[in-house]
Each structure stands twice: as structure tokens, then as C-alpha cells.
Amino acid sequence: IAYIIARERMHSGSIEEAVRRTMPQIQGAYSLLVMSPQKLIAARDPNGFRPLCMGRLGKGYVFASETCALDACGAEFVRDVEPGEIVVVDPSGVKSIRDHCTGRISPCIFEYIYFARPDSTMYGNNIHTIRKLLGKALAKEAPVEADLVTGVPDSSISAAIGYAEASGIPYEM
């Protein structure tokens, strides 16, 4: 990706134009953060496979794949970067380039069930809450007789709690 951006920059002049021209050449899931001496550029794949959010820290802006990273550094969540969007932060402010935005989103389901931390928010939904709801749905779809419910690996703890609540089977660590 860095090679393609560098090649496109030779033809376009500006780094944000190089990123804009590179995006159609990349297939698959990505979130990019590109820095130049005067600019910070964030870009998200047009399908929105991977999350990317923007935060405000003092007078500056920060970008992260999860909102919990913003919380950890004391930044305030501003918004999600839209699928296909390029956000440019420079001394004149924040600019959005939406040439590759399609309006559709195809997030990776593993962000919800495995990758994301439970204290993150994606697409306006708390991950812990979503996982609990998935656990409750699983309890209704696949009831079992059991002595207890537990989550393995740790990313399934929220779903296990939801399963336990819906099934009436006690949850234990």
C-alpha cells in the first residue's frame, strides 16, 4: 500500500490525492493512517470491513480502530470514519473526501464476536451489549441442559453472560 501511495504521489503532487487515487487499487479490508510533515490522513476501505474512528484530544485529532483506544488516552469520540472516506487533518482544519463512499457497509462479523474489546463502541453499538444479545439469541436457538455457562476465550464472556441470563443456567468464571 505504501508503495502504491508513493507511486501515485509522484503523479498527483499531494498526499491526499495520492491516497484517493490508491484506494481503488486496493482490494480487501484496511484502515490507513498516513502522515506527512503537515497532514494527518485517515482512510477506510469502501466496504467498511474494519472500523476506524476519529477523536479529539485537546486541540488535535486522533484516529483509532476502536473507541476504547480513545478512552485510554483521554480523547473524546467525534465520529466514525465512513466506509470509503478519507479524512485530512492539516493546519487549516479537517476536510472529508467522500469519492469512494458508497453508502453501504459490510463490517467483518469477527469484529463483533472476537476482535473488538467489550468496552468499545462500533456503529453506535456497545460491543459488550451486542455480544450479550448474541448469547441470548443462541440460548433460544440452541438450548442445552448444563450445570453452568462459561466463556472461552475471554472475548466470549459477554455472550456467555447473555446465554446464562436467557437460559437460566448459572454463569461461572
Burial class (CB in 10 A: 0-12, 13-18, 19+), 103: exposed
Sort strands 125-126 and 121-122 into parallel, antiparallel or unpaired.
antiparallel
Question: What residues contact 73, with CB distance under 8 A and at least 6 apart?
Answer: 57, 62
pTM more than 0.95: no
For 134-163, write each residue's pLDDT tens digit. Answer: 999 999 999 999 999 999 999 999 999 999
With 0-12 CB in 10 A as exposed, 13-18 as middle and 19+ as buried, what is 116? Answer: buried
Tell me which amino acid residue 155 is: S
**pLDDT tens by residue, 2-15:** 999 999 999 888 89
Neighbours of 127 (CB within 10 A): 23
- Using an 8 Å Cβ cutoff, are 90 and 34 in contact? no
* Neighbour tally for 120: CB within 10 Å: 22
